Amino acid sequence: MSDDSWDDLEKSLRQLLNQVKSNLSASERREVEDFINCNEFDAAMEALVDFLIEKSEPISKQALVTARKVANIMNLSGELKRINTLSTGKSG
């Protein structure tokens, strides 16, 4: 992956985090930010999806689109399946 691609991925992850910030506690946001700051993008995405599923709160349509985009860029098919449960607010 080129530097530009990494930068775009980081930007998209931060955008997603901003889109769902009202769904997360301050400590949850900090944990995801720490992963992003350390370039642990897989861990950031996994933690973010975990937190959102635990909350069982629907997220905005735009956040869902961004989450799917990030998961596709990262080839995270397992996370994509979990993300798809968020659109209806289901945790299973």
Q: Cα dist. 46→1, 2, 4, 35, 67 in Å?
A: 20, 22, 22, 10, 11
pLDDT single digits (tens) 30-78: 999 999 999 999 999 999 999 999 998 889 999 999 999 999 999 999 9
- pTM of the entire predicted model: 0.87
Average pLDDT of the segment spanning 11-35: 97
Examine residue 92 and state whether it is found in any structural domain, yes or no. Answer: no
pLDDT given at position 90: 46
Quick check: 1 pLDDT over 90? no
Examine residue 14 and state whether it is found in any structural domain, yes or no. Answer: yes
Number of domains in the chain: 1
Examine residue 37 and state whether it is found in any structural domain, yes or no. Answer: yes
Examine residue 91 and state whether it is found in any structural domain, yes or no. Answer: no
pLDDT given at position 49: 96
Examine residue 53 and state whether it is found in any structural domain, yes or no. Answer: yes
Q: Range of 13's domain?
A: 3-86
Sequence-distant contacts of 61-69: CB under 8 A, at least 24 apart: 62/19, 63/16, 63/19, 63/20, 66/12, 66/15, 66/16, 66/19, 67/16, 69/12
